[in-house]
Amino acid sequence: MVDIAFGPELGRRPDLADNRKDYLEMVRRKRMYGGLLLVLFIALMSSGWMLADDRNAGGFWGGLHQVFDFPSEVLTEAWDKRPNLPALFSKHLPALIETLNIAAVATLIGAVAAMSLSLLATRGLARWPRLIPVFRRMMDALRAIPEIVIALVLIYILGGGPVPAVIAIALHTGGALGKLFSEVAENADLKPVEGLASVGANWSQRMWLGVIPQVAPNWLSYALLRFEINVRASAILGFVGEGGIGHDLKLAMQWGQGRYDQVVAIFLLLFLAIVVIDRVSDHYRHKLVKGH
Amino acid sequence: MTTSLSPSLAESVNRRFDRKRRMAFAVPAAIIAYLVYAAISFDIAGLVNRARFDNASILLSDFWSHKTHVTRDNRNGKLTVAIEGESKGTYPEGMLPDWVSVSDGVTTIDLGDGHIVTYDQAGARYVVPGYGTIDVRPDGDRPVITAPEPIPDWIAVAENRVGVTTTAGRFTYTRSKVETFKYHAGWELWFFTLDSPFHGKGFGELAALALSGDRIDPDRSNLGYMASEFWTNRMWRHGDVAWAIFETILMAFLGTMTAAIVALPLSFLAARNFMPLGIFRGAARRVFDFIRGVDGLIWTIILSRAFGPGPMTGAIAIAITDTGSFGKTFSEALENIDEKQVEGVRSTGANALQRARFGVIPQVMPILLAQVLYYLESNTRSATVIGAIVGGGIGLLLTQAIITQKDWEEVAYYMVLIVLMVMLMDSLSGWLRRKLIKGK
């Protein structure tokens, strides 16, 4: 304060009497930058959409009125054949269960991998502090590879079926959850760890008894969220690759007219499963994070 | 007092401990039981039989090496040398790699380490050091093999086919053709294809050409010629790949930003403190739930029916899916704001729009921006998958390369590019997050 008020040079002293002008000047500058950014953003967006429209097979305005053609065609046919729906539900239920199993097993395996990876990559907790960057980069790489890449390559080696999808999703989950887990573990209280160290506990005992109980609610909540995401991923992988309800959907879609009742049945199953899982996991996540 | 309480306290504590102890065993046991069930239902045992580990070795060797096919048509005696056996990698007439030589109708292929294959009028010979000479002559329709007995198991003799696999290469003789594969490390023709004037030149030579050499094509500089030859490389299609990457990022950017712009006003409708009317609030929330529940896969399918394949379809699919997610998270952020700032703005006589602009937006902006940037990064990955479904971007190139099941070096190349792209977007969004939210 003293430096400012009694600064050496007269000209560099802030003119306290006239601060209103400076303030308005600052506001104007800020608004100008904001406006420039906004113009730049709008230009980027509009040119981007124009370019994307240009490179698309069908144009936006030409396709717009067709958006509802396909759903309405599907729905009318399904409505005509609505007595078939219950039978179709039970026919495709096993595929839905397979999709859910893929997601669940992948989440379990991925979460276990993420637990150890995250503890090894957290400052203050790591077993080998020098190797923290190695484990971090490892998680980055696991996160960066899209599931579809691993799944398609594995289908070539392992043949079809759910296992390639499980491995692909589990690898990705390991990386994604590892990062979130390690952010939670960074904030863990180190006192229990020190206490355990003082009674001679080894690293895994310190982690299991000192850290895991603290972070378990948050970790579980993240794992549940990941399970939601993985259900969707496993449906998409089925559509592109093999196995599960996504594959059934692709087959029915490829058949086209005449099997639209199947399309609707599969779609309803998938929709209901996703909504129910979202609801249940939302409920439990709130309970876990915000207390009972 | 204490005496009357303590037995029941001890009892309840003991009961709790018992329950904890039971849970400590029950939870892992349940997980293991579930995994066993999953292993059975996934048919792990059958998988071991179905797995093709020879495919794995092909894939791994293709990832880092390439092979050159030296093929002679046994009907007309025509010799073709082609990299990966593809027409775009075929050596033009009169040009041969230095390990293949032709004189008087006799082709000699030097596979290295003393492995020599010779094609001549009567048939073909393969000299394997430490073993001897394998001689194959056609007898009518079928090849007859003469080789030191006993014939080892790396020589496969069938009714009308002889195959030899060694560490130096592979040799196959059938009635119609005789073929030799030689393996080289690295990705083939990555910079220039065989028909380019720059093929087979070292870095020094190329640099000299680019900077000072005489113009190969009088119409343009050597550097420009080189760049266009590289960009239009028919084997690797660098230009198309760069476009595909750009398209993928474009899809993610347009989709995420559009979703954020659409979701922001809608999320006010779904927030309890801004929309007191339960009907509207419930309706907005159900819309978000519906959009998220339908899932990106279905939106993608419906939209690609209407708009055809391409990046715009993918961008719209991402935009619709994320509108649901953003709507939910934005409205949660809006419900958690501090009302004092809004009241302060209200006290100056601001209307609803001004209150939102000056009282609410500054509070929620950091949360919203963090969300948007996080989605931008994760949508780069989704755009790859969506591209594979709608037919656009790097996802399409990747699935095409995988479906042919032979261009594994291209698959490896695309995988590397995708990982780099995602990591780039990851660090970009992290940098922006730090810059915009935590302030400079």
Residue-level pLDDT at B318: 92
User: Tokens 């990747």 map to which residue?
Assistant: B398
Task: Decide: B257 and B318 in contact? Cβ < 8 Å.
Answer: no
| pLDDT single digits (tens) A26-42 | 889 988 988 998 999 99
Percent of chain B at pLDDT above 70?
A: 97
H/E segment holding residue B269: helix B238-270
Confidence of residue A198 (pLDDT cuts 50, 70, 90): very high
Q: Is the pLDDT of residue A14 over 80?
A: no
In the predicted structure, residue A1 carries a pLDDT above the cut 50: no
Task: Note whether A15 and A115 are same-domain residues.
Answer: no
Do A109 and A27 fall into the same domain? Answer: no
How many domains does chain B contain in total?
4
pLDDT at B434 over 70: yes
> Exposed, middle or buried, A149 (CB in 10 Å: 0-12/13-18/19+)?
buried
Question: Is the same domain home to A14 and A132?
Answer: no
- What pLDDT, in 10s, does the model give residues B285-296? 888 888 888 878
- Report how far apart, in Å, the C-alpha atoms of A107 and of each of A110, A169, A173 are: 5, 8, 6
Q: What number is the average pLDDT over the span B227-232?
A: 78
Please tell me whether residues B258 and B278 are part of one structural domain.
yes
- Model pLDDT for residues B50-82, shown as the tens digit of each residue: 777 877 787 777 777 888 888 888 888 788 888
On average, the pLDDT of chain B sits at 83
Q: Are B245 and B334 contained in the same domain?
A: yes
Query: Which of the listed residues B231, B261, B286 is the one where a domain comes to its end?
Result: B231
Residue A286 confidence (pLDDT): 82
Cβ atoms < 10 Å from Cβ of A4: 10
Q: Are residues B250 and B194 in the same domain?
A: no
Q: Is the pLDDT of residue A160 over 80?
A: no
Q: Whose CA is closest to B393, among B255, B273, B290, B246?
A: B246
Tell whether B156 and B220 lie within a shared domain. no
Burial class (CB in 10 A: 0-12, 13-18, 19+), B197: middle
Residue A144 belongs to domain spanning: 73-290
- CA A269 to CA A277: how far, in whole Å? 12
Same domain, A39 and A149: no
Residue B318 within a domain: yes
What is the rounded CA–CA span in Å between residue B184 and residue B69?
11
Query: Is position B61 within any domain?
Result: no
Q: Please check whether residue B408 is in contact with residue B63, taking contact to mean a CB–CB distance below 8 angstroms.
A: yes
Q: Are B179 and B171 in contact (CB under 8 A)?
A: yes
The answer to whether residues B198 and B274 belong to one domain is: no
Q: Any idea which residue has 């760049």 for tokens?
A: B227
pLDDT computed for residue B295 by the predictor: 78
CA distance B417 to B395: 11
Q: Is B259 helix (H, G, I), strand (E, B) or coil?
A: helix
pLDDT per residue as tens digits for the range B33-49: 999 988 888 888 788 88
Kindly state the percentage of chain A with pLDDT values over 70. 93
Question: B161 is written with which tokens?
Answer: 């086919």
The vertex-A145 CA angle with B84 and A131, nearest 5°, equals 115
Q: How many CB atoms lie within 10 A of CB B332?
A: 14
Q: Are residues B346 and B220 in the same domain?
A: no
Which range has highest mean pLDDT (A237-246, B203-212, B345-354)?
B345-354
Task: Please answer whether residues A245 and A238 qualify as being in contact, where contact means their C-beta atoms are separated by less than 8 angstroms.
Answer: yes
CA distance B303 to chain A (A): 6
Is B94's pLDDT higher than 80?
A: no
Query: Do both A18 and A162 map to the same domain?
Result: no
Q: Are residues B219 and B285 in the same domain?
A: no
| A236 shares a domain with A127 | yes
- B277 and B319 belong to one structural domain: yes
The strand pair at B100-103 and B79-83 is best described as: unpaired
Q: Are residues A130 and A61 in the same domain?
A: no
Which one has a higher pLDDT value, A222 or B54? A222
Per-residue confidence (pLDDT) for residue B204, from 0 to 100 = 74
Task: Tokens 């003799």: give the residue.
Answer: B157
Is residue B119 domain-shared with residue B133, that is, in the same domain? Answer: yes
Interchain proximity B385–A49, CB inside 8 Å: no
Confidence of residue B89 (pLDDT cuts 50, 70, 90): confident
Instruction: Answer yes or no: do A109 and A163 share one domain.
Output: yes
Q: Which residues contact B388 (CB under 8 A, 6 or more apart)?
A: A148, A240, B395, B396, B398, B399
Q: What are phi and psi of B152, to 5 degrees?
A: -70, 170
Which of the listed residues A18, A50, A66 is the one where a domain comes to its end? A66
User: Are residues A139 and A12 part of one domain?
Assistant: no
Which of B299, B381, B426 would best serve as a mutation to test chain A binding (most A beta carbons within 10 A)? B381
Q: Are residues B272 and B322 in the same domain?
A: yes
Residue A124 shares a structural domain with residue A257 = yes
| Residue found by looking up tokens 């580990």 in the block | B53
pLDDT at A7: 52
What amino acid occupies position A10?
L
Return the residue matching tokens 């037995």: B7
Q: In whole angstroms, what is the distance from residue A100 CA to residue A114 CA?
A: 20
Residues B281 and B403 both lie in one domain = yes
Residue B96 to residue B308: CA distance in whole angstroms? 45
CA–CA min distance A285, chain B (Å): 14
Q: pTM for the complete prediction?
A: 0.81
Q: DSSP for B218-239? A: TTS-HHHHHHHHHHT-TTT-HH
Asked if B55 reaches chain A (Cβ–Cβ under 8 Å), the answer is yes
Most confident by average pLDDT, B54-58, B343-347, B426-430: B343-347
Report residue A2's pLDDT band, with 50, 70 and 90 as the boundaries: very low
Nearest Cα residue to B187 out of B64, B57, B60, B61: B64
The amino acid present at B24, given as its one-letter code, is A
> DSSP of B74-137, one letter per residue?
TTT--EEEEETT-GGGBPPTT---TTEEEETTEEEEEEETTEEEEEETTEEEEEETTTEEEEEE
CATH at residue B386: 1.10.3720.10
- Whether residue A150 sits in one domain with residue A48: no
Among the listed residues B76, B69, B66, the one whose alpha carbon sits nearest the alpha carbon of residue B97: B69
Q: Give the N- to C-terminal CA distance of chain B in Å, as an integer.
A: 63
Q: What are phi and psi of B431, to 5 degrees?
A: -65, -45
Domain end, chosen from A46, A66, A86, is at A66
For range B287-312, the mean pLDDT: 84
Chain B residues close to A152, C-beta within 8 Å: 398-399, 402
Token pair 């993918």 is found at B314
Q: Could you give the percent of chain B with pLDDT greater than 90?
A: 8
Backbone phi and psi for residue B76, each to the nearest 5 degrees, phi listed first: -115, 5
Residue written as tokens 């294959």? B117
Q: How much is the average pLDDT of B302-315?
A: 86
Kindly state the tokens that stand for A222.
């993240």
B389 touches chain A (CB under 8 A): yes
Could you report the per-residue pLDDT of A54-75, keeping only the tens digit for each?
A: 888 777 887 777 778 888 888 8
pLDDT (average), residues B88-96: 76
For residue range B120-160, what is the model confidence (pLDDT) as tens digits? 877 888 888 888 888 888 877 778 888 887 888 888 888 78
Q: Shortest CB distance from B52 goes to which of A140, A141, A159?
A: A159
Residue B297 at interface with chain A, using a CB cutoff of 8 Å: yes
Q: Report yes or no: B179 and B162 within 8 Å, Cβ to Cβ.
A: no
Residue A11 banded pLDDT, cuts 50, 70, 90? low
- Please indicate whether, in this complex, the C-beta atoms of B295 and A60 are within 8 angstroms of each other: no
State the count of interchain CB pairs (< 8 A) between A and B: 172
| Mean pLDDT rounded to a whole number for chain A | 85
- The answer to the question of residue B56 being in a domain is no
Chain B residues lying within 8 Å of A271, measured CB to CB: 293-295
Q: Residue A292 pLDDT > 70, yes or no?
A: no
**pLDDT surpassing 60 at residue A222:** yes
Task: Collect all residues of chain A within an 8 Å Cβ-Cβ radius of residue B423.
Answer: 140, 144
Q: Say yes or no to pLDDT of B1 above 70.
A: no
| Pair B183, B112: CB distance under 8 Å | no
> Nearest CB to A149: which of B250, B308, B398?
B398
Specify whether A132 is located in the same domain as A261: yes
> What is chain A's alpha carbon radius of gyration, rounded to the nearest angstrom?
28
Show which of B231, B259, B286 is a domain's final residue: B231
Q: Which of A66, A95, A116 is a domain's end point?
A: A66
pLDDT digits (tens, 9 = 90+) for A75-117: 888 888 888 888 888 888 888 999 999 999 999 999 999 999 9
Q: Are residues B157 and B263 in the same domain?
A: no
In a domain, B379, yes or no: yes
User: For B385-420, what is each residue's pLDDT tens digit?
Assistant: 888 888 788 888 888 888 877 778 888 888 888 888
Interface-testing mutation among A101, A115, A150, A153, with chain B (most B C-beta atoms within 10 A): A153
* Residue A17: predicted pLDDT: 67
What is the structure's pLDDT at B69? 84
Peptide bond into B150 cis (omega under 30): yes
Number of domains comprising chain A: 2
Domain residues for B389? 238-437
Which pLDDT score is estimated for A6? Answer: 53
Checking if the pLDDT of A8 tops 60, the result is no
Q: Specify the CATH number for the domain of residue A254.
A: 1.10.3720.10
